[in-house]
Structure 1
Amino acid sequence: MISADMIAEIMGFNRFYSNILNLLNKQIMAEGYSLTETRVLFEIGKTDRCTANILVNQLDIDRSYMSRMIARFEKKGIIDKTQSPTDSRINYIRLTEKGRHDFNRLNDMQSEQITHLFHKMNEEDQKLIFDAMIMIKNKLSDVTDVISIRPFTPSDIEYVISRHKTLYYAERHLSNVFFNYVDRIVYQFANNFNPKTDCLNILECNGNPAGSIAVVKAEDKIAQIRFFMLEPEMRGRGYGNKLMDMALDFCREKKYKHVFLLTISAQVIARHIYERRGFRKTDSYDKSEWGESVVEERWDLEL
């Protein structure tokens, strides 16, 4: 049973961690964005089909405060609104080119601040703190999150595109050439989707998209795994394994004999998922047009 002393320590840790977050976000606040505004920009950046209602519900922010914030963003030219083609009452909110630039700059600032903080510790202490943070996040999330995996709907296409762009910029600094490639292959998948040979599953956490994986027919009896992605907060919790296993089960159900996927060499953790299921790297390609020193890899599996 949890004791009064344990509760006091947890409350103390919460106050301490709040101070650390304030320290990390000082530079962002100096750029003219509050912490709440930064959170809202992050959510808007996830999809081109974001709405004010989605933001209010996901972030638990007062509706009138959200309206004022969105009006300020619109005035600054970092977001624009487009009317839903199916419901005139709904306006989609998305980042403009200036908004995407600001968002990426804020993300880079946070990365630099975290790097600076951790460089003050030796590698052993860095790993100790990192592992403890992952454990705390995962254990608390396991008892609070509602998780599901479902087939995609048309509205998920913009989520898949937006999050691939945002995450690959934030984590790998890939170029606009890669982003144009993402646009092309995801829309191509959506336009040619055949439920008899293809699938796209969406991981949901508390009703919000949190990851994806697709299977696409490449040739007769050959399938390709595509759009494998997890939100950072979902990693290390086994959901990448679940998505991959569901995709491979679909391949076996549809009588595919061979599966392959394309990834980049920097995706070290994802490679462990492939290796454990018998995938083997069969080729690599220079993709310097996507970013500095980017190498694309092909991994194959016989079913």
Structure 2
Amino acid sequence: MSEIALRRFVPTDSQWLVARHQDLYARDEGFDESFGPLVAEILHDFCLDHDPACEQGWIAHRGDQRLGSIFCVRQGSQTAKLRLFLLTPEARGQGLGKLLLRQCMNFARSAGYRDMQLWTHESHHAACALYTAFGWQLLSSKPVHSFGQDLVEQSWGVQLVDETA
């Protein structure tokens, strides 16, 4: 069996990524059918208008099998946004989340961003623990009703450069 590797996202990954997000979030979180179109819109915008010098997406794979994704996009001149971080159930617990998060944060640093932000839900315990381990801090939290569910939406941030240097 081949090892897990990362490659750059290509537009032909979009259909898989939308379907996996829709299926896994419906199964694990009870999200309704409005979630898939949001992922599709994010990917459409990325494919249409991203700047590869400062915005990238990666697909984790083992051979031909896709196992996960992560994206770094511009939120502002100094701020990157982490998006579409996903691990398939068969890929969890193998250190792949750390590999993807490290890749994304290192890219953001090399692209000149000073900080990163992300949006998630409180129910994503494993992801939130990973963010904490990588130095991210919870910035805000609020109850919302999204995707047919009552959720607690969270914003997280991390400094990519030493502000005292």
**TM-score (norm: length of structure 1):** 0.51
Partner of 2:51: 194
After TM superposition, the structure 1 = structure 2 runs for residues 67-82 of structure 1, keeping only pairs within 5 Å, are: none
Q: Which residue of 1 aligns with 2:36?
A: 179
Matched, 1:248 2:105: yes
1:166 alignment partner in structure 2: 23
Report what 2:156 is aligned to.
299
Q: Distance in 2 between matches of 1:294 and 1:208?
A: 31
CA drift of 1:180 comes to 2.6
Alpha-carbon shift at residue 211 of structure 1 (Å): 0.4
What amino acid sits opposite 1:240 in the alignment?
G
DSSP-derived class of the 1:189 partner:
helix
- 3-state DSSP of counterpart to 2:45: helix
Counterpart of 2:62? 205
Higher relative contact order (CA 8 A, sep 6+): 2
Counterpart of 1:162, as a letter, is A
Alignment counterpart, residue 281 of structure 1, candidates 132, 138, 145 = 138
TM-fit CA distance, 1:191: 1.2
Would you say the 8 A contact 1:215–1:225 is kept in 2? yes
2:145 is paired with a residue whose SS is coil
Structure 1 portions without partners, runs of 5+: 1-143
- Structure 2's unaligned 5+ residue stretches are 161-165
Q: CA deviation at 1:231?
A: 0.8
> Structure 1 residue runs of 4+, over 3 Å off?
none
| 1:137-176 equivalences in 2 (<5 Å) | 144-176=1-33
SS at match of 1:176: coil
DSSP-derived class of the 2:146 partner: coil
**2:71 and 2:84 in contact (8 A); partners too:** yes
3-state SS of the aligned residue for 2:149? coil
1:55-74 matched pairs, under 5 angstroms? none
1:202-244 C-alpha deviation (Å, 9 max, x unpaired): 0011222110000000100100000100110110000100000
More strand by share: 2
Larger Rg: 1
Q: CA RMSD in A?
A: 1.3
Please name the residue that 1:269 is paired with. 126
Percent of pairs with identical residues = 28
Superposed counterparts of 1:222-241, under 5 Å: 222-241=79-98
Equivalence for 1:56: none
Give the distance between the partners of 2:54 and 2:143, measured in 1 at CA.
Answer: 30
Partner AA of 1:250 in structure 2: F
Letter in 1 for 2:15: E
Retained in 2: the 8 A contact 1:264–1:295?
Answer: yes
Mapped contact 2:73–2:83 kept (Cα < 8 A): yes
Please tell me whether the aligned partners of residues 157 and 190 of structure 1 are also in contact (alpha carbons under 8 angstroms).
Answer: no
Amino acid at match of 2:118: L
Matched to 1:223, the amino acid is A
